[in-house]
Chains A and B, each alone.
Chain A
Amino acid sequence: MSKIIIGRYIPGDSIIYKMDPRGKIIATFLFIVIIFLANNWLSYLFLSIFTLLAVWATKLKPKVFWDGVKPLIWLILFTSVLQLFFTTGGKIYWHWGILNISEYGIQNSIFIFIRFVMIILISTVLTLTTTSLEIADGMEWILKPLGYLKVPVAQIALVMSIALRFVPILLDQAVRIMNAQRARGADFNSGGLIKRIHSIIPILIPLFIGSLTIAIDLATAMEARGYREGAKRTRYRVLKWSKYDWINLGYFTLLTLILLLTRTY
């Protein structure tokens, strides 16, 4: 379970850690949009430099970023290879049936490869340097305008932060249930597909009941502490916009400008 890199947070103390999650989330989303502005070698070069600088600024070991890319490496290679063989145009170096390797094909496959890796790297920068709690807070702020459409943003935020809080507890519980079932002879790692699905049932049912019990207990505890559904509440945790967030914003704007300037039309 500990191998999952998505959503993993590694504590640290570099400049990226000091940034406001709102700024980081917005910048990450916009990054995925502006990445499509790049369409020539120069713009891809700048894109890579800016991304690698952001990665470097986290002061984390390169290995954790490699762990982020690794699970998707086959998808990346598959897409790049398709681009390589099926794009026509420019000089043709090799030709066989419908397959051919052309100048544009090589170029496109390298672009796609860079694009993929950069998106993964930037989103890994976000998840590694921001606790899930900060992400939930940031998302709440971003979702706030939906309040005008009668979307219960405060309730959704509470649900998000409770859900995040119970992820480690439920993981623990799942491991404990698996061990308990193993002690009674259950086997989770062998047999065909059907047998494996069958062997999940003795984990899922207790886990489901367990989470309902937690929900009931927690609801009682919340009510006993004065929580009223839909009532106004004040907030203890607030996000603060600091000078680091202006750096973040400035950095992102600079990248956008450079991409616009170097783009060929």
Chain B
Amino acid sequence: MKDNIVTVQHLSFTYKDTKHPAVNDVSFNIPKGSWTTLVGHNGSGKSTIARLLDGILLPDENSETLIQIDGITLNEKTMWDIRDKVGIVFQNPDNQFVGATVEDDVAFGLENRQVPRLKMQTIVHDVINQVGMLKFQKSEPQYLSGGQKQRVAIAGILAIGPKLIILDESTSMLDPAGKDKILALIRKVQKENGLTIFSITHDINEASQADQILVLNQGTLLASGSPIEIFKDESLIKSAGLELPLFYKVKNKLIKRGITVPQEIDNEKKLVNYLCQLNLKM
């Protein structure tokens, strides 16, 4: 077993003006270096979990609750150490851009950590280069597209050298092309920097590419497992108010029709190859 970077046990959270908990007794682990996706429809408590992991919200008092990130147990004292390890890219690219220009924004996290200016300059230059925004280093946000702003947000997070990046519906306000580019960029930086990704989305296609999927419905965790395990069960996904990705829909329909599709086939290309082979055998 690989080490877990995030351990969450019996996490519950209730917003002040509501009676029902937004997150209800959720427990899960995130292995180091993996890409874990949390799916659920609107209002299922996904974003609340992101904020709980970073200490922006504090869980309901319960002696059994435990949030551990990279060996540190989250509480009011360790909150700021946790934030050195976790970076969040939020949904709206406009509302998380703090600095007046790209480089200012990337430097914001470093300024908060009192990094000396000379060191800041090299770090800022490096991470802006890493996300491919060097051309726009001095640009103001109103001249950038949504996808470019998200790139800057990622650079701002890379600057502080985190272990875990949380994507809180980071691509939901982008157009399809921008979305694919951002996801490809995140995959690239994940490899280069050895990061763990925890993405929160209701885009089921994005989820199908993860290592681990957590399905959340109305604050409770319905299931967790690899995409193959999760998408086998259409009724589970339906009960969470979601739809299967097209590939799994086709696969499940084929199985229903009596065509045996082996378990390990987990993407479109493999399925096409398999079906062509079947055709040859017939």
Is B a genuine binding partner of A? Answer: yes
- Interface residues of chain A, those whose CB is within 8 Å of chain B, are 133, 161-162, 164-165, 168-169, 172, 213-214, 217-218, 220-228, 231-238
In the assembled complex, the CB of B254 is this many whole angstroms from the nearest CB of chain A, namely 44
Residues of B within 8 A of A169 (CB): 94, 141-142
Q: Of A133, A168, A228, A234, which is in contact with the most chain B CB atoms at under 10 Å from its CB? A: A234
Give Cα A224 to B100, complex, Å.
18
Do B83 and A226 touch (CB < 8 A)? yes
In the assembled complex, the CB of A207 is this many whole angstroms from the nearest CB of chain B, namely 15
Q: Does B74 contact A (CB under 8 A)?
A: no
Q: Chain B 47-90, CB within 8 Å of chain A: the 1/0 string?
A: 00001001010000000000000000000000010011011101
Q: With A217-B95, A220-B56, A220-B90 in contact, do A236 and B110 touch (Cβ < 8 Å)? A: yes
Nearest 8 A/B pairs, CB to CB: A236-B107, A217-B95, A221-B96, A226-B112, A225-B109, A168-B142, A233-B111, A133-B100
Do A236 and B117 touch (CB < 8 A)? yes
Partner of B111, one of A168, A221, A223, A236: A236
In the assembled complex, the CB of A221 is this many whole angstroms from the nearest CB of chain B, namely 4
Residues of B within 8 A of A133 (CB): 100-101
Do B120 and A217 touch (CB < 8 A)? no
B101 to A, closest residue via Cβ: A133
Give Cα A224 to B107, complex, Å.
14
Residues of A within 8 A of B54 (CB): 224
Residues of B within 8 A of A221 (CB): 88, 90, 95-96, 98
Residues of A within 8 A of B83 (CB): 224-226
Give Cα A233 to B115, complex, Å.
8
Do B110 and A234 touch (CB < 8 A)? yes
Residues of A within 8 A of B86 (CB): 224
Give Cα A214 to B97, complex, Å.
10
Do B112 and A225 touch (CB < 8 A)? yes
A134 to B, closest residue via Cβ: B100
In the assembled complex, the CB of A237 is this many whole angstroms from the nearest CB of chain B, namely 6
Q: Does B160 contact A (CB under 8 A)?
A: yes
Q: Chain B 104-137, CB within 8 Å of chain A: the 1/0 string?
A: 1001111111111100110010000000000000
Give Cα A172 to B141, complex, Å.
13
Do B113 and A226 touch (CB < 8 A)? yes
Q: Does B103 contact A (CB under 8 A)?
A: yes
Residues of B within 8 A of A217 (CB): 90, 92, 95-96
